[in-house]
Amino acid sequence: MSDNDQKSVSRRKFLSVLGTTSAGAAVLSGCSTEKVEKLIPYLVQSEDQVPGVATWYASTCTECSAGCGLHVRTREGRAVKLEGNPEHPVNAGRLCAMGQAGLQGLYNPGRIKGPMQKSGGSWRQISWDDAIALLGQQVGAAGAGLAVLSGAPRGSLTGFLADFTAAAGGRLVRWEPFDQTALRLASKRIFGRDEVPTHDFAKAKYIVSFGADFLDTWGPTVENQRQFAESHGFSRDGGMAKHVYFAPRASLTGLNADEWHGIKPGSETALALAMAGVLLGERGIAAPAGAPSVSVEQAAEATGLKAEDISRFAKEFAAAQPSLAVAGGIGSQHAGAVELCAAVHLLNYAAGNLGETVRFGGDLDRGDGQAAFTALQQAMEAGQVKVLLVHEANPVYGTPKAGKFAEALAKVPFKVSTSLYVDETSSQCDLILPGLHALERWDDANPRAGVWGLMQPVMEPVYPNRNSGDVLLAASQKAGGVFAKFAAPSWEAYLKDRWAAMAKARGRDAATFWREALAKGGVYEPEAAVPVKAVVAGAVATEAPAIEGTGDFTLVPYASSLLYDGRGTNKPWLLETPDPVTKITWHAWVELHPDAAAKLDVKEGEILKVTSAHGSIEAPAYIYPGLRPDVVAIPMGFGHTEYGEYAKDRGPNYLDLLGPATGEFVAYLGTKVTVERLREYRKVAKTEGNPRQLGRGIAEAMPVAYAAKGLTVKEAATAAGHPPHEINTEAEVKALEGWREGQVGREDGEGRRLGNYAGEHPLWGMTIDLGKCTGCSACSTACYAENNIPWVGEDQVLRGRELSWIRIERYWEGGTDGEPVEARFVPMPCQHCDNAPCEPVCPVYAAYHTPDGLNGQVYNRCVGTRYCANNCPYKVRYFNWHAYARKAFVAPFELQLNPDVVVRARGVMEKCTFCVHRIRGAQHTAKVTGAPIKDGELTTACAQACPSGAIVFGDLNDPQSRVRQIAQDPRGYHILEDINVRPAITYLAKVVHREPAHAAPGGGEQH
Amino acid sequence: MAVAVEAAPSQPTQTHADVTRDVVATLAPATKGYYLLLFGAVGLFLIGAITLLLIVKEGLGLAGYQPPVFWSVFITTFVFWVGIGHAGTLISAILYLFRSPWRTAVYRATEAMTVFAVMTAALFPIIHIGRQWIFYWLLPYPNQRYLWPNFKSPLMWDVFAIGTYFTVSTSFLIFGLIPDVAAVRDKATGWRKTVYSLLSLNWQGTDNQWRHYSKAYLYLAALAAPLVLSVHSVVSWDFASSLIPGWHGTIFAPYFVAGAIYSGVGMVFTLLIPLRKYLKLEHMITDYHFDNMAKLTLFTGTILFYAYGMEYFVAWYSGNTFEQTTFFRRAFGPAWWAGWSMIIPNAFLSQLLWFRKIRTNLTSLFVISIFINIGMWFERYVIIQSLTNDYIPYAWDQMNPTWADWGILAGSFGWFGMWFLLFAKNFPVVAIQEIKEFIPMPRKRAGGHH
Amino acid sequence: MAKNTAGVLASFEHIDAACDTIRALRAKGHKHLTVYYSHPNHELEEACGHHTSPVRLFTLIGGLTGVTAAFAMQIWMNRDWPLLVGGKPIVAIPAFVVIGFELTVLIGSLATLFGVFLLSVAMRNKGVIYDGRYSDDRIGVFVPAGGAEAASVERMLRDAGAVEVKHAAA
């Protein structure tokens, strides 16, 4: 019964045994087989562990190579929540979905428990001493045959690996699939600097992206998004930057553009050069020597755009100072990527953006690139590599099968992996020395010049594994000889030495420097911008690169911000969080343009066979308007054959369709494919129902001109000649008065005098700025982490039973009869209505209204009539149809559970609580310290995570509060205002650079 | 009464002795066929019971619920049975107050049907909730937590309405049975006599007993009559008092009551036509009765016709996009088939009953009644399916029932059938005393009485 | 059963005969007759000349109790545990009407049944002999009488057309 659902949660077991006799009996019988433990009271407390009180540690995120700063919330010695470090220059306190899900990497059931050696094709556990001895002996014997394949550069460990391999004359290759080699090479070619520049989206007034998905996977996405929100988010005084996106497919970045143009793959170079040409003309600057010139007409020919449009882009780009053009994303990484990036460099140069929005000096080093990798592979094939150590890399999965890396790997006599999980590569190795998760170990990260992030063990390791640094140091001692010099007693000591050196270089005392760095999470120094001038070395080819193979469609990759290059696929949160663009969960798909689908007569969900010269894959079709009709897009990150139970058998691997990587980088775009119907169907596990608003005014938008005038949504609609929404009656209008003033629910007479309602209370409310929301879904994942929301799995999502308390709705506008397609994202948490329709219908008062305006849900009281969910106009109540917690929190996932939030039993309704536990916690602290809660010191998990800062939470009754100020913005509106339920959430209408697409009339579209 | 006697054209010409004899004859030992039916019913009931056990063990997820459809087959079946439960009390109480002569022969059977239908319906509020083991939290009982239920919730109204309706209709049935059981007692022998003696509460039919009895019966009828109308109104307010497009209609109370009586009488046909044949009651339950019940069906069916039409008209005329979408999809949406299996049998098929030939032809009546049952089940299904497309298009979804839904549905029919069969064989399904009321007693002096 | 009442029990087939007899007996001063018949019958009720049954009082009191209890319960419970739901007042009378009505009917009917039980079953005239045919097609008239009186009563009953007359000894 209900209690068994909590059985999996050891912390609660004790409580449930204390419960009612029947509950006690249930649990006792349930636990009878478990071993009896002697309870020891918590007498000796470590000073930083107070039971019931959270301890925060600063650390650094290692989910991707952006190196965001973390604040890790620990309770009773367990990391329970990751939040951004506000002091960190990269993410400034925000964190993306991938970062949030780092916890599921830490507590992943797929983690390896102790070192394993392969003998006779099967694994066997060995002791750490034997493992290290074995490694030392092998490394010692390898000599120049020692090679290390590591992931993207991290920090001191990368440096150590370099020294380590150099000592033996071996080689180190720093490789990751989503590197930015093309951009780096272009910088070298145009500016003579072999590095990746940093981009400043915050300053830019006009952003042109040539397939650089800076909100998905390109660069430090959290930073990009924050800066993008700053420039592109509307403000009455500052106006709003314009964002134009050129790529065959609209990624999340493309959906956030004011104009998306699906130009021919590979034609971006010509376009960029043509724009640069116009600009140089405009500004009367001579083109740098050797810079090719492309006429607007040629560009129009190449791209399929209108010539006048191209000149318009160029002029607008020139007019906005400073502007910013970016390129080099995975989505457009074709054979001509270097040319493209070079052209874009010239464009920025022509627009005078260098040193403004494009800066050199803070090298975002992303590794040695594909060429070095290929060289290593050849050495392996040639048998020159005796010992290969793979660290934080999964090349067997991450490189095209046609590249035959697995075969090369097999040729290496002794292969060692430090992977935490049995992935495609480590499973092929002879020895696995499972490392520690970033939250369990001492380490540092150096994502860019001037930024050094520290990692410290915030908890005991979940499994008896060891920090790879320690292992290598120990192994060096065992190996002796050339390795003997690596004599540091521990990795921590080694690290401290390096930091002591840093301190010395800065004339600081090592101890304090270290302590301060630990407290702040690292050392952050202003980047030293290096002035550059264009020295075009080598010409820039202007013609589009050849697309190899035959077929009607060009294959376009989709690298999602959730699964990234496939490293996210073993984390249920990232699989269950709907893809921001397609809203599909748990499985892969093939994207087709509606016209192409019509031509092939394909319906959504039909299994398609996509075949290239190198292989074929099968996946269900998804009809997506943000796509050229002559391309198909397939998401990357699926198709794992190892990497744990969650990653395995989830659709095909995009890379199976690609040819072997040649040259400096992998041309992810560059293959023609044929698409064939298999006449089999499956229901696509997507969370979207009807993708059209049907004129219901859910996701409002208004042209920037109107917004600047300070028009309200209704006024803007009328001004744009659209039919205004239903006129309210006098009574309704009266009832709606005073919302923005935060006077909601104040005059309830008797209701405000009885019981807890007596006296004055805060009125918690929220504003969500749709002009800033990019739909990245970080808030949703943060909510899962904060509120112990169980993931339900594919079969339940197919029945629409996911429990995502804050869902990101994505509506299409336009897209029909020639209108450009426009996406509108609406985060939809519980609206905490003051006239909440869910409350009065509950027969047992499980849903009721708290004095401070929250829509409370009492799980223990809920009997599960589900009437509240029926009566909720926003459909934000979620029901536990099964004991989901039992499945979702299998050990050791349950260690991540937030002790402040109850784990819901089967058969009860649950929903967004405005993080009531945080509110009560803050109120409690305020009571104890006597200091009233200051505005902004208390916020919800979603608002905390949002990289755009679109969500603001606070007290609507406080006239000074930020939420109150924003709620009074003329753009503010309430969804379904006419039914007068008085939601506590005010949305700010999205602002667009053109007339909002005409919404379909209500009765009109019935899909 | 006197008036009534003349009003009734085709009185079976029999003596009081015949009445007792014929009715008592229906209690003769049962045939194989009867036991076959009974085992069938019990079998179905067991299927339902097992399904319920699995649901309690695994969770409601076994059923086809698919948010935003948080209610579906269970609530549909609940309303269906509550509806069935309306014909009985209507015929026995309201027609009693109207002094309709034709109720006498049929009201006992319909009343029994009512009680068992409500017994079935009463199970569903327990089956359909998420934590069945604490269903009693819906009752306002004093508890150490000082918690009380929420009387503003239509579901609480339901609890009281169904509870009251069950109690009252049951006592009404038992009360009417007492003199008849006494009559059976006086014919019975052996252990059966003892049993019936106990059940008859030692009724002797003395002048004193009759005097209180007839008055009390009148008052009970007077109380039960408005109850009939109220119960389904309350059930309808489960929907009407929400704000779901397609649910919050002011027309709902009368619309549901009409529908309830319509479906109830439909079920009466389905049960009585075979029963009458099996128990050889042709000369007591005659065409005359069926004809009148058919007229009642026609009347309520026509009300439904109007209600359906009015729903669509209001949706169109309101100009409210939410209402319009809902009703458009009801007829032409993904679940159009359900929409039409509600409209065709209820609104159109009932109109066949304008023809006397059809009204008095038992075969046609029986066939129609089957369609009425199906149609009325779908009416509730369709109304509840309004949930598939309410305010937020992004949240729309369709639902598909699973084996668990059908298991519970089958179980409910088994449970109902089981009780009805047991009753029909062990208690007089025709009211002996009231039939006798319509048969003049022999007189010495010539000439009828005043 | 208590000790039998001495008397004469006559069975009639004809209703008019039965009614005349009853009237005659009552005229003669036989007040405590017991008349058996199988179904509600106006003629006989008139003949017995009872005044209206007091059972309606039970119905009335029951109903009033019901409605009062219902509103009292709802108002008290809502104020005892005051929770705001949907911005409605704590005591929302319109919402309480339904349960008010239901309890009126419930308690009303239960009280009525109780009344009947009290009046006609519990206060049954004990020790009077009975015949199974009275629930079928006969009318029975029992006249409490003993000794000589019994003989005269029997004669009178036979003249009135009783098809059968029995004597009950004390």
C1-19: pLDDT as tens digits = 446 777 888 888 888 888 8
Select the residue of C14, C81, C112 nearest B216 (Cβ to Cβ): C112
Per-residue confidence band for A303, with pLDDT thresholds at 50, 70 and 90? confident
Q: Which residues of A839-874 are buried (b: 16+ CB within 10 A; e: fewer)?
A: bbbbbbbbbbbbbbbbbbbbeebbbbbbbbbbbbbb
Q: Is the pLDDT of residue A983 over 70?
A: yes
Provide, as residue numbers in chain B, all residues whose Cβ is less than 8 Å from the Cβ of A696: 321-322, 391-393
Please indicate whether residue A758 or residue B116 has the higher confidence score (pLDDT): B116
* A563 DSSP assignment: T
Residues C111-123: what's their mean pLDDT? 81
Cβ-proximal residues to B231 (8 Å cutoff; 6+ apart), any chain: B82, B85, B86, B161, B162, B164, B165
| CB C103 within 8 Å of CB C69 | yes
The residue type of B440 is: P
Q: Is the dihedral of CA C25, C31, C32, C37 positive or negative?
A: positive
Measuring CA to CA, which residue among A922, A901, A923 is closest to residue A913?
A: A901
What pLDDT, on the 0 to 100 scale, is given for residue A37? 63
Distance CA B413, CA B121 (A): 11
Looking at the complex, does the CB of residue A867 fall below 8 Å from at least one CB of chain C?
no
Give the CA count within 13 Å in the CB-facing half-sphere of B258: 20
| CB A519 within 8 Å of CB A443 | no
Provide, as residue numbers in chain B, all residues whose Cβ is less than 8 Å from the Cβ of A804: none
| CB A219 within 8 Å of CB A334 | no
Distance CA B86, CA B117 (A): 9
Highest mean pLDDT among A187-201, A726-740, B306-320, C95-109: C95-109
* A324 DSSP assignment: E
Per-residue confidence band for A11, with pLDDT thresholds at 50, 70 and 90? very low
Per-residue confidence band for B441, with pLDDT thresholds at 50, 70 and 90? confident
Per-residue confidence band for A999, with pLDDT thresholds at 50, 70 and 90? very low
The partner residues of A985 in beta bridges, in order of sequence, read A766
Provide, as residue numbers in chain C, all residues whose Cβ is less than 8 Å from the Cβ of B204: 36, 124, 130, 134-135
- Residue A797 tokens read as 């999502």
Q: How far is CA A669 from the centre of its chain?
A: 22
CA distances from B166 to B106, B114, B123, B138, C59 (A): 20, 9, 12, 17, 18
Measuring CA to CA, which residue among A825, A805, A777, A828 is closest to residue A945?
A: A777
At residue A54, the 3 state secondary structure works out as: coil
- Residue A799 tokens read as 């029945």
- Residue B221 tokens read as 């009828």
Looking at the complex, does the CB of residue C119 fall below 8 Å from at least one CB of chain B?
yes
Closest residue in B to A847 (Cα–Cα):
B150
Select the residue of C44, C77, C115 nearest B140 (Cβ to Cβ): C77
The partner residues of A623 in beta bridges, in order of sequence, read A592
Q: Do C82 and A755 touch (CB under 8 A)?
A: yes
Q: Is the pLDDT of residue A69 over 50?
A: yes
Measuring CA to CA, which residue among A336, A288, A64, A65 is closest to residue A182?
A: A336
Distance CA C121, CA A665 (A): 101
* Residues 120-159 of chain C whose Cβ lies under 8 A from any Cβ of chain B: 120-121, 124-125, 128, 130, 132-137, 139
Q: Is the pLDDT of residue A875 over 90?
A: yes
What pLDDT, on the 0 to 100 scale, is given for residue A129? 92
Q: Is the pLDDT of residue A745 over 80?
A: no
B334-386: pLDDT as tens digits = 889 998 999 898 888 889 989 888 888 888 999 999 999 999 999 999 999 99
Per-residue confidence band for B10, with pLDDT thresholds at 50, 70 and 90? very low
In degrees rounded to 5, what are phi and psi of residue A469?
-55, -50
Looking at the complex, does the CB of residue C91 fall below 8 Å from at least one CB of chain A?
yes
What pLDDT, on the 0 to 100 scale, is given for residue A753? 66
Distance CA A771, CA A243 (A): 13
Q: Is the dihedral of CA A644, A646, A650, A653 positive or negative?
A: negative
Point out the least confidently predicted range of A233-237, A777-781, B20-24, B324-328: B20-24
What pLDDT, on the 0 to 100 scale, is given for residue A422? 92
Tokens 């392969």, located at residue:
A118
Cβ-proximal residues to A50 (8 Å cutoff; 6+ apart), any chain: none
Select the residue of B17, B156, B205 nearest C134 (Cβ to Cβ): B205
ipTM, 2 decimals?
Answer: 0.89
pLDDT over 70, % of chain A:
90
A438-453: pLDDT as tens digits = 999 999 998 888 889 9
Tell how strand A206-210 and strand A671-681 pair up: unpaired
Tokens 């620990």, located at residue:
A74
- Residue A495 tokens read as 């690290």
Looking at the complex, does the CB of residue A747 fall below 8 Å from at least one CB of chain C?
no
Tokens 């009325």, located at residue:
B376
Looking at the complex, does the CB of residue C33 fall below 8 Å from at least one CB of chain B?
yes
Select the residue of B60, B155, B397 nearest A689 (Cβ to Cβ): B397
* A212 DSSP assignment: -
In degrees rounded to 5, what are phi and psi of residue A123?
-85, 145
Q: Do C86 and A845 touch (CB under 8 A)?
A: no
Longest dimension (CA), chain A: 90
The partner residues of A909 in beta bridges, in order of sequence, read A879
Tell me the count of A-B CB pairs closer than 8 A: 180
At residue B216, the 3 state secondary structure works out as: helix
Closest residue in B to C133 (Cα–Cα):
B186
* Residues 53-82 of chain C whose Cβ lies under 8 A from any Cβ of chain B: 53, 55-56, 59, 63, 73-74, 77-78, 80-81
Q: Is the pLDDT of residue A747 over 80?
A: no
Shortest Cα–Cα distance, B139 to chain A (Å):
9
What pLDDT, on the 0 to 100 scale, is given for residue A1006? 35
Subunits with 3+ C-beta pairs closer than 8 A to C: A, B
Provide, as residue numbers in chain B, all residues whose Cβ is less than 8 Å from the Cβ of C96: 151
Angle of helix A156-168 relative to helix A468-479, nearest 10 degrees, comes to: 20
Shortest Cα–Cα distance, B161 to chain C (Å):
6
Q: Do B325 and A881 touch (CB under 8 A)?
A: no
| CB A191 within 8 Å of CB A533 | yes
- Residue A819 tokens read as 């209108």
Point out the least confidently predicted range of A1001-1005, C90-94, C101-105: A1001-1005
Per-residue confidence band for B88, with pLDDT thresholds at 50, 70 and 90? confident
Q: Is the pLDDT of residue A953 over 80?
A: yes
Subunits with 3+ C-beta pairs closer than 8 A to A: B, C
What pLDDT, on the 0 to 100 scale, is given for residue A735? 54
Distance CA A974, CA A962 (A): 18
Point out the least confidently predicted range of A162-171, A701-710, A991-1000: A991-1000
The answer to whether the peptide bond before residue A892 is cis (omega within 30 degrees of 0) is yes
Point out the least confidently predicted range of A76-80, A680-684, A895-899, C28-32: C28-32
The residue type of A723 is: P
| CB A764 within 8 Å of CB A853 | yes
Provide, as residue numbers in chain A, all residues whose Cβ is less than 8 Å from the Cβ of B333: 1006
The partner residues of C84 in beta bridges, in order of sequence, read A849
Closest residue in B to A698 (Cα–Cα):
B392
A318-352: pLDDT as tens digits = 888 889 999 988 888 888 888 889 889 888 888 88
In degrees rounded to 5, what are phi and psi of residue A740?
-60, -25
Shortest Cα–Cα distance, A935 to chain C (Å):
26
Looking at the complex, does the CB of residue C15 fall below 8 Å from at least one CB of chain B?
yes
CA distances from B152 to A127, A328, A838 (A): 66, 61, 12
Q: Do C87 and A754 touch (CB under 8 A)?
A: no
Distance CA A617, CA C15 (A): 96
> What is the DSSP annotation of A881-916?
SS-HHHHHT-TTGGGG--TTSPPPPTT-EEE--SSH
Q: Which residues of A787-825 are buried (b: 16+ CB within 10 A; e: fewer)?
A: bbbbbbbeebbbbbbbbbbbbbbbbbbbbeeeeebbbbb
| CB A397 within 8 Å of CB A177 | no
Longest dimension (CA), chain C: 83
* Residues 315-354 of chain A whose Cβ lies under 8 A from any Cβ of chain B: none
| Summary mean pLDDT of chain A | 85
Point out the least confidently predicted range of A748-762, C48-62, C144-158: A748-762
Distance CA A536, CA A339 (A): 12
> What is the DSSP annotation of A368-407?
SHHHHHHHHHHHHHTT--SEEEEES--HHHHS-GGG-HHH
Subunits with 3+ C-beta pairs closer than 8 A to B: A, C
CA distances from B399 to A54, A801, B238, B389, B402 (A): 43, 11, 21, 11, 10
Per-residue confidence band for B288, with pLDDT thresholds at 50, 70 and 90? confident
A640-658: pLDDT as tens digits = 998 999 999 888 999 999 8
A205-248: pLDDT as tens digits = 999 999 899 999 988 999 999 999 999 999 888 789 999 999 99
Give the CA count within 13 Å in the CB-facing half-sphere of C156: 23
- Residue A445 tokens read as 């990260």
Looking at the complex, does the CB of residue A847 fall below 8 Å from at least one CB of chain C?
yes
Per-residue confidence band for C122, with pLDDT thresholds at 50, 70 and 90? low
Per-residue confidence band for A634, with pLDDT thresholds at 50, 70 and 90? very high
Element (H, E) at A232: helix A221-232
Residues A568-582: what's their mean pLDDT? 93
Site from B20, B228, B441, B445 to mutate, C interface, most C CB atoms within 10 angstroms: B441
The residue type of A968 is: Q
* Residues 754-813 of chain A whose Cβ lies under 8 A from any Cβ of chain C: 754-755, 757
Select the residue of C38, C106, C116 nearest B212 (Cβ to Cβ): C116
Give the ranges where A148-205 is alpha helix by DSSP (H).
Answer: 156-168, 181-191
Site from C19, C33, C38, C85 to mutate, B interface, most B CB atoms within 10 angstroms: C38
A345-372: pLDDT as tens digits = 888 888 888 888 888 887 777 788 888 9
At residue A354, the 3 state secondary structure works out as: strand
Q: Do C87 and A836 touch (CB under 8 A)?
A: yes
Q: Is the pLDDT of residue A3 over 60?
A: no
The residue type of B241 is: S
| Summary mean pLDDT of chain B | 87
Distance CA A553, CA A555 (A): 6
